[in-house]
């Protein structure tokens, strides 16, 4: 990674610093009432989930789509960057912006399950799968926004990925090897869990690799 690429990544972190701080603070604060009972858990979980999903959407829209609309890419033309270099810097910068709050909020959710006596440890596998799914979901949105220039197309991607979160949450609990252990006092890390986790990580890596492969062949900027 050259110095200019590192500076562009740092620029993304600086530009969205208050968004990252706000989302992380709101998400962690939402975990506080989650151990107070069923109502508090539902409200806290909803805010936590919304914070992560909204962060991914805002980073993708403001980080790439807004640059196209506002023609701020004209500034990039003055830098000694190839289109591939720019896409790489944009991808890594926005990924870093998402990873920091995601890691903190995921750790908070896992810690909540481990610490709170009223929450069964059997929810740990489900929690881990959901957290990694949210990372995968952002990777897909980021991949799409780096390829799709149509606002309508991106709107469709965002709707579908947001719907996929609800479908995942409902579907994963219906898998007998996962759902049957969610209420138990001990976490069960069985084969279906590891297969699902491997699939999520594989899709995440593919989604992050596609823009780099595409960028190596393009002749113009986003």
Report how far residue 12's alpha carbon sits from residue 16's, in angstroms, rounded to the nearest whole number: 6
Q: Cα-Cα-Cα-Cα dihedral of 38, 41, 42, 44, to 10°?
A: 160
pLDDT along the chain (222 residues), means of 10: 78 91 93 77 89 93 70 60 79 94 96 86 93 96 85 86 92 88 87 95 95 68 52
Name the CA radius of gyration of the chain, rounded. 19
Element housing 49 (H / E): helix 38-60
Q: How many CB atoms lie within 10 A of CB 198?
A: 10
pLDDT recorded at residue 47: 92
114 touches 121 (CB < 8 A) = yes
pLDDT of residue 42: 83
Q: Is the distance from CB of 184 to CB of 121 less than 8 angstroms?
A: yes
Indicate the SS3 state at residue 37. Answer: coil
Q: Domain extents for the chain?
A: 3-215
Rounded to a whole number of angstroms, the distance between the first and last alpha carbons of the chain is 20
pTM, rounded to two decimals: 0.90
What's the full length of the chain, in residues?
Answer: 222
pLDDT by residue (tens digit) across 164-187? 999 999 999 888 888 888 888 888
How high is the pLDDT of residue 61?
A: 83
Query: What pLDDT is recorded for position 116?
Result: 84
- How far is 217 from 84, CA to CA, in rounded Å? 8
| Residue 48 C-beta-side C-alpha neighbours within 13 Å | 27
């Amino acid at each position: 990674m050259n110095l200019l690429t590192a500076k562009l990544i740092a620029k993304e972190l600086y530009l969205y610093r208050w968004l990252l701080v706000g989302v992380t603070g709101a998400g962690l604060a939402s975990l506080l009432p989650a151990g107070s009972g069923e109502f508090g858990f539902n409200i806290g979980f909803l805010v936590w989930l919304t914070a992560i999903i909204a962060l991914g959407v805002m980073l993708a829209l403001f980080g790439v789509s807004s640059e196209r609309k506002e023609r701020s890419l004209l500034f990039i033309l003055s830098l000694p960057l190839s289109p591939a270099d720019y896409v790489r810097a944009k991808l890594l910068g926005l990924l870093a912006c998402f990873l920091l709050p995601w890691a903190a909020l995921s750790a908070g959710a896992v810690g909540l399950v481990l610490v709170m006596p009223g929450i069964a440890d059997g929810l740990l596998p489900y929690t881990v799968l959901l957290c990694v799914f949210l990372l995968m979901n952002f990777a897909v949105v980021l991949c799409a926004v780096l390829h799709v220039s149509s606002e309508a197309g991106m709107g469709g991607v965002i709707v579908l990925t947001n719907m996929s979160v609800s479908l995942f949450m409902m579907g994963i609990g219906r898998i007998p090897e996962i759902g049957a252990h969610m209420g138990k006092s001990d976490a069960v890390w069985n084969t279906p869990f590891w297969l699902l986790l491997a699939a999520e990580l594989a899709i995440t890596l593919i989604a992050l690799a596609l823009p780099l492969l595409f960028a190596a062949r393009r002749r113009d900027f986003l």
